[in-house]
Chains A and B, each alone.
Chain A
Amino acid sequence: MNYLEIANVSKYYGKFKALDGVNLNIPQGRIIGLLGKNGAGKSTLLRCILGFLKYDGDIKIMDRPVNEKHRTINRDIAFIPDVSSLDDRLTVQQTIDYVSGLNDSWNEETAMKLLKQSDLPFKRKIGKLSKGMKTKLYLLITLSLDVNILLLDEPTLGLDIVFRKEFFNTILGDFYNEDKTIIISTHQVEEVEQILQDIIFIDEGKIVLHEDIEELKQKYSQVIIEQSRKEELELNNAKLIMSSLGKASGIVESSVEISDAEYLRPSLSDLFLLKVGGHNE
């Protein structure tokens, strides 16, 4: 069953086309990475899915069209935006009470477990929390919701590395099961690479690629050879050729064989650069 069906969705900001005929089918039980450069349309796509923006085309969440402003879509879907949108005027406890009271999908057991482990000051106003604390609170209350679809837009922005690791390796893992689908839009692709099952590349509002990561990685290899043999990479039509510490590396199709070369699985960021273009910094 497809949890999300996006058909020919376009979105304009004035004359700027932020989304250009996006077509996507997102099935049940997948963890999907949404990758794109700044301004590629990631946040716009997520906000169109949630019905926050007007768009052309059709989006269905679990067979219910978003355009018809079904408020019930929020029963199935939870969202963490890239900017802290928690209400600064409420305290941590008031925020938890507010979200738990309005969401039938609130899981008290999960919430207790997550919030107990956190060092959140429950009586403090949100406005007095650090950016990291706000993000942490947002993540924990959102993960306390038993929803089928979770949209994360740069979820760990502003968090320290310890919590980021904990979030991606443990907390998100506890949330996920085969009934749920998680879409993560992030720049810190290395952190999520291990947990992603599918990847979507978006560029200039268009979906460039939507594929199973394992299958994608099997199609390409990263080849490392001596710097002096760099031209062999070019001869084999390698992309993203780089030189460093006397070695040269490049991405080639898996069928390509170069003698005495070291073969590695390409990283997601390499594959992104390969498909979308840009500089490998």
Chain B
Amino acid sequence: MNKFKILLKKDWIINKKSLLIPFWVTAGFYLLMLISLAIAYFHKDATISGFSEFPPFPSGVINYIGNMGIVALPGVISLLITILIMQSALNEDMRKNYELFHRSQPVSLWARVGSKFMMGTAANWAVLFIISIFNFIVLNSVLIYHKQFVFGAAFTGMLQPLVVIMKTGLVLGSMTFFASAIFKDKAFFKGTVVLVSLQFMFLILNAIFNWHIPTPLGLLTNLMETKNLAISGSEISEIDLNYLLKDRWNEILFNMKTVYQILLSAVFFVAATFIYDNREVKID
């Protein structure tokens, strides 16, 4: 366990720049907001009017919907970071001639590969969670100020899209990780090309022979697809807060699809590790 911590520390140092990109983007976003506020404050004609009036919905629903949005931007960036880290995870050391050094260390290959995988998933999620908590504090300070804050609804509103992004990241990341074991360069792009090619092949075969074989992209999108969290304007006034806070968890997390997603990710991870283990460390 101690050795795994050392591997995690090393991989954190190596991936720190990429992992912190969502931080900098969020910081930039806040800086822009501050500049805008400063301009509005010093400009006599402008007025600051955010959150001065609340719609006539229950506070819980406002808290829930308001907090859903705070994960969106860092979440999308986080998914891109997952792809970025995972596609080079098994190739960067090889490409830069560091492989000999790292492979010479007396540590299990599974631990080495696992640590790399953790960077693209768990470390990335941790960063996303910290940013989300920060956004949560900022947004809800306003709600607290206006005495509209409902912690349970607000926190669930933040947590549910976070879980959706994490699950999507897990499947997307492990697929990219697997592709990085096969392709030594531009793994995500090449993996996507293979997938699209297979898709066309299946479509053509189905059309010619009148088969109904499920297509790979169809299967994958179905697997990655999670409950659409968006709530339309007409739904807001009728939505049941109890459903949002409790039943929605069943649609998002506690279902068989989550089990399949975890299983598929595990299969991709194991397959990638086996392929990587069989790679030779070539002489330049």
Determine if B100 is an interface residue (Cβ-Cβ < 8 Å). Answer: yes
Q: Which of B106-114, B137-145, B156-164 contacts A (4 or more CB under 8 A)?
A: B106-114
A81–B100 touching, CB < 8 Å: yes
A79 to B14, CA, bound (A): 23
Give A158 Cβ to nearest chain B Cβ, in Å.
14
A17 to B249, CA, bound (A): 61
B3–A85 touching, CB < 8 Å: no
Q: Which of B59-67, B125-133, B189-197, B276-284 contacts A (4 or more CB under 8 A)?
A: B276-284
Determine if A83 is an interface residue (Cβ-Cβ < 8 Å). Answer: yes
B106–A74 touching, CB < 8 Å: yes
CB neighbors of B among A3-26 (8 A): none
B3–A101 touching, CB < 8 Å: yes
B106–A44 touching, CB < 8 Å: no
Determine if B212 is an interface residue (Cβ-Cβ < 8 Å). Answer: no
B283–A90 touching, CB < 8 Å: no
Interface string of B1-41 (1 = CB under 8 A from A): 01100110110011000000000000000000000000000
A97 to B13, CA, bound (A): 12
Determine if A247 is an interface residue (Cβ-Cβ < 8 Å). Answer: no
Q: Label chain B's interface by main secondary structure.
A: helix
Determine if A71 is an interface residue (Cβ-Cβ < 8 Å). Answer: yes
B101–A102 touching, CB < 8 Å: no
A81 to B100, CA, bound (A): 8
Give A44 Cβ to nearest chain B Cβ, in Å.
7
A83–B106 touching, CB < 8 Å: no
B106–A71 touching, CB < 8 Å: yes
Q: State which of A47, A53, A87 has its C-beta within 8 Å of the C-beta of B14.
A: A87
What are the residues of chain A within 8 A of B2 when measuring CB–CB?
101
Determine if A69 is an interface residue (Cβ-Cβ < 8 Å). Answer: yes
Determine if A78 is an interface residue (Cβ-Cβ < 8 Å). Answer: yes
B100–A72 touching, CB < 8 Å: no
A90 to B3, CA, bound (A): 17
What are the residues of chain A within 8 A of B97 when measuring CB–CB?
83-85
A27 to B109, CA, bound (A): 29
Give B247 Cβ to nearest chain A Cβ, in Å.
47
Contact (A74, B100) CB under 8 Å given A53-B280, A94-B13, A101-B3: no
B residues apposed to A, CB below 8 Å = 2-3, 6-7, 9-10, 13-14, 93, 96-109, 277-278, 280-281, 283-284
